[in-house]
Amino acid sequence: MTRQPFKDEELNYFKFASLVLNEFPKALRQTFKSMWDITFGHRPLWDDSILVRNLFRTQEGSTTKVPTDLSYEKWDCTALFQATIYAHSFALPDSKGHHKTLSDLYVKPCKLAPGKFHASVMRPSGNRAETFALAIDQLRLLRNSLCHSTSSEIIKPTFDQFVQLSKDAFKALGVKTDPIDAIGDLTESNFPTKEVGKLRQAREDETLAYLKFLEGRCASKEDINDLKQVFAQGKQGKNSVIAQLVDLQCG
Query: Above 70 in pLDDT, residue 168?
Result: yes
pLDDT at 80: 97
Mean pLDDT score across all residues of the chain: 83
Q: How many CB atoms lie within 10 A of CB 169?
A: 30
Region 202-225: what's the mean pLDDT? 69
Q: Where does the pLDDT of residue 225 fall: very low under 50, low under 70, confident under 90, or very high at 90 and above?
A: low
Cα radius of gyration rounded to whole Å, the chain: 18
What are 170-197's pLDDT values in tens digits?
Answer: 999 999 999 999 987 777 677 777 777 8
Task: Say which range, 25-39, 110-124, 227-241, has the weakest mean pLDDT.
Answer: 227-241
Classify the C-alpha dihedral 16-170-165-76 as positive or negative. Answer: positive
Residue 4 has pLDDT above 70, yes or no: no
Report pLDDT for 206: 86
Helix axes 8-18, 193-217, angle to 10 degrees: 60
Instruction: Quote the pTM value.
Output: 0.83
Residue 176 — left, alpha, or beta (φ > 0 → left; ψ -120 to 50 → alpha)?
beta
